[in-house]
Chain A
């Protein structure tokens, strides 16, 4: 399956540019899918909409002011996520929204998919475990593509594909 790394123009800030991934045969990019699903869920659950707004604010803060240092994100096993964290809600099994991310550099982040986490560990949460595993896989795919012999380079905030190679998901 082929895939593309695509820029999100509205999320191109002074310090960080955010990208996402669109897989062949899928109608939406990964991040668009996450935003749309959470927006829809937010219509009936105000807490989800509020969490989505917090993630929006985090993206802006990272993009405009703080840069994509690892400590701006929540580590989730071997990947990172943008998340909301309200310990007092965890007693009710609500861990908040998670959107998994790949930090390519302090200036480049690839936003993937996620969901509403309802278990302590992402891999144990039926809402997000599949998205978590896909993020882990995406990290491996992109690590290979950005390796010395890979197809992709970075230059500042730009991801480059100098030879216009087709990117394969698997």
Chain B
């Protein structure tokens, strides 16, 4: 396609504070979406718990929203988990039936090829009993996923008692 010659230099300007606000807002929306799926609450049920309309809840789950701390605190109580991620955007969620562990990823580039075509976190993904790791392998099977670094590889191996490969090398204790 042809490139425009119009002046869009406005987009070269930086406002790091605002950029950070938008980044954080989007991460929070992601996190709320994930917790909503993990809690197995519908939007309607969440709205009832929060004493809000369903349309208000829908607004929170899309775009950029300037949440107050009060709203986030109430959401955490309603969703039953912390909205703020511990570190590096990865965490195990224990869903209600306790039989599934799900790792939340912020970076979709790290999705396993098997789940690449699937939504990152969705009810369907969770019901497939899928553990989604950050992955840098070329190919993967159902029982073998790659890890971003070796330390995490060992941790996940211990946790899941499954074979874990990192950069095509099988991790053993």
Contacts from A to B (Cβ < 8 Å): 4-11, 19-20, 22, 28-29, 32, 35, 39, 52-54, 56-61, 65-67, 70-75, 82-86, 158-161
What 3 A-B pairs are tightest by C-beta distance, nearest first?
A57-B22, A74-B63, A32-B6
* Contact residues of A: prevailing secondary structure: mixed
Question: Which residues 1-47 of B have a CB within 8 angstroms of A?
Answer: 1-4, 6, 8-13, 15, 18-19, 21-23, 26, 29-30, 33
Question: Which residues 63-90 of B have a CB within 8 angstroms of A?
Answer: 63-66
Of all chain B residues, the one with the shortest Cβ separation from A63 is B11
Residues of A within 8 A of B15 (CB): 53, 56-57
Q: How far is the CB of A49 from chain B (nearest CB, A)?
A: 10
Partner of B26, one of A61, A86, A160: A61
On whether A7 and B1 interact (CB within 8 A), knowing A71-B29, A85-B66, the answer reads yes
Partner of B61, one of A67, A71, A160: A71
Partner of A11, one of B1, B11, B62: B11
A66 touches B11 (CB 8 A): no
Of the four ranges (under 10, 10 to 19, 20 to 34, 35 or more), the interface on chain B belongs to 20 to 34
Partner of B11, one of A59, A65, A72, A84: A59
B4 touches A29 (CB 8 A): yes
Residues of B within 8 A of A35 (CB): 8, 10
B10 touches A39 (CB 8 A): yes
A54 touches B26 (CB 8 A): no
A5 to B23, CA, bound (A): 28
A4 to B2, CA, bound (A): 8
State whether the Cβ of B118 lies closer than 8 Å to any Cβ in chain A: no
Partner of B62, one of A7, A54, A74, A159: A74
State whether the Cβ of B148 lies closer than 8 Å to any Cβ in chain A: no
B2 touches A6 (CB 8 A): yes
A56 touches B10 (CB 8 A): yes
Residues of A within 8 A of B108 (CB): 67
Q: Quick one: which of B4, B9, B30, B65 has the most chain A CB within 10 A?
A: B4
State whether the Cβ of B59 lies closer than 8 Å to any Cβ in chain A: yes
Residues of B within 8 A of A71 (CB): 29-30, 33, 61-63
A154 to B91, CA, bound (A): 35
Q: Quick one: which of A20, A35, A85, A161 has the most chain B CB within 10 A?
A: A85
A32 to B19, CA, bound (A): 21
Partner of B19, one of A10, A57, A159: A57
A9 touches B3 (CB 8 A): yes
Residues of A within 8 A of B29 (CB): 71
On whether A61 and B1 interact (CB within 8 A), knowing A35-B10, A75-B62, the answer reads no
Of all chain B residues, the one with the shortest Cβ separation from A4 is B2
Q: Give 28 CB contacts A-B under 8 Å.
A: A6-B3, A7-B1, A7-B4, A8-B8, A10-B12, A29-B6, A32-B4, A32-B6, A53-B15, A53-B18, A54-B21, A54-B64, A57-B15, A57-B18, A58-B63, A61-B19, A61-B22, A61-B23, A66-B26, A71-B33, A71-B61, A71-B62, A72-B26, A75-B58, A85-B59, A85-B63, A85-B64, A159-B1
Of all chain B residues, the one with the shortest Cβ separation from A35 is B10
Residues of B within 8 A of A160 (CB): 1
Residues of B within 8 A of A20 (CB): 4
